[in-house]
Amino acid sequence: MNKNLIDIVKYRNIWIGISLLVLIPGLIGILMCIIKFHAPLRPGIDFTGGSILQYEFTKPTTPDKVLAVLDSCNFSGSQVQQAYIANHEVMVIRTKAIDTEAQKHNLDEAFQSQIGSFQVISEDKVSGVIGPELLLNGLIALAITFAMMVAYISWRFQVDYAVCAIIALFHDVLALCGIFAILGVVASVEVDSLFISAALTVIGFSVHDTIVVFDRIRENAKLVGRKMLDPISGKEVKKTFGDVANDSVNQTLTRSIYTSLTVVITLTVLYFLGGITMRNFVLAMLIGIISGTYSSIFNASCLLVWWRELKVKKKTVMA
């Protein structure tokens, strides 16, 4: 192995440990969401049904004042978030479904009398029937996508490649869901149908990046057993599968980082300038892209080497 290369395989316990530091708190967050919201993540209005209102008030106000008006109109449990759209302060109100014009009229009158005049920026409503249907369709889409990924990788590579790629994929999905579960508990961050879209994109990106690394490992696998100079001792030794995997990861490292970095830069700009309605979607994409890049470089290849080493030890014991 070239001494100038990064010895990723050697420090695989550290990479797995870093992943566990993210996944374990995430699993705890998912458990807390199940207890508190009866769902792995805090469901948004897209799934539970309700209304989203964006009001721009003439006079400056606070979310607490808006909540007080909502409570007085029997809309307790609502959420109010202050946002800025085109440099104008806007109150984003998430509440239970406003079913009748009378309810909407009474609420607007209460805002008018207690806070002041306002302009309606947008009004969206998801019924209690459509919400569960969206959730079911989203879960079906995830299941179909996952099954097709498993089938493709199993056909394209050997079984151990496929298993390690799927483990890396699980890592990315759990990291994404775990972080959003924690945010749902501590910061009231909800997931909507856009989150499903982000999760599907993350799955595709994660598998794509892992396949690029695995394809290079497979191409270089023919070098296993060839002689090389040990960079530390200077002695002539035979290349192991770990050496080949490490060389292959280093060969694709720059490409993986550069590709991901361009996406991360774009998403970061969108997160800060794209508006509040896209923020959670962009955040999910950011988490997924970073996690997918990490797992493809540091986890998938190390798991594959570990699998091959176990097979060699098993053959040695049986012999």
172 vs 199: CA distance, rounded Å: 9
Where a domain ends, among 125, 140, 160?
A: 125
**Whether residue 165 is found in the same domain as residue 115:** no
DSSP 55: E
DSSP 9: G
Q: Are 245 and 304 in contact (CB under 8 A)?
A: yes
Q: Is 47 exposed, middle or buried (0-12, 13-18, 19+ CB in 10 A)?
A: buried
267: in domain: yes
Amino acid at 187: A
Q: Are 209 and 292 in contact (CB under 8 A)?
A: yes
Q: Are 152 and 214 in contact (CB under 8 A)?
A: no
What are the tokens at 171?
A: 């890592």
- CATH classification of the domain holding 293: 1.20.1640.10
**Whether residue 26 is found in the same domain as residue 95:** no
Q: Are 84 and 90 in contact (CB under 8 A)?
A: yes
pLDDT at position 18 is 95
What are the tokens at 257?
A: 């980082």
Where a domain ends, among 78, 104, 125?
A: 125
161: in domain: yes
32: in domain: yes
What are the tokens at 185?
A: 């508990």
**Whether residue 294 is found in the same domain as residue 148:** yes
pLDDT at position 34 is 92
DSSP SS3 for 44: coil
pLDDT at position 129 is 56
Beta bridge partners of 122: 54
**Whether residue 66 is found in the same domain as residue 112:** yes
pLDDT at position 66 is 92
56 vs 300: CA distance, rounded Å: 49
DSSP 45: H
pLDDT at position 234 is 62
**Whether residue 110 is found in the same domain as residue 142:** no
3: in domain: no
**Whether residue 148 is found in the same domain as residue 293:** yes
**Whether residue 196 is found in the same domain as residue 307:** yes
Beta bridge partners of 123: 53
**Whether residue 218 is found in the same domain as residue 242:** yes
294 vs 130: CA distance, rounded Å: 37
DSSP percent split of the chain into helix, strand, coil, nearest 5: 70, 15, 20
- The full DSSP string for 99-155 is -SHHHHHHHHHHHHHHT--EEEEEEEEE-TTHHHHHHHHHHHHHHHHHHHHHHHHHH
pLDDT at position 134 is 67
| pLDDT tens-place string over residues 128-162 | 555 567 667 777 877 887 778 777 877 877 778 88
- Intervals of the chain under pLDDT 50: 1
pLDDT at position 162 is 84
309: in domain: yes
| pLDDT tens-place string over residues 265-296 | 999 999 988 777 788 899 999 999 999 999 99
**Domain span at 69:** 50-125
1: in domain: no
State the total domains in the chain: 2
Where a domain ends, among 73, 96, 125?
A: 125
2: in domain: no
- CATH classification of the domain holding 69: 3.30.70.260
Q: Sort residue 188 into left (φ over 0), alpha (ψ -120 to 50) or beta.
A: left
Three-point CA angle 289, 277, 99, nearest 5°? 135
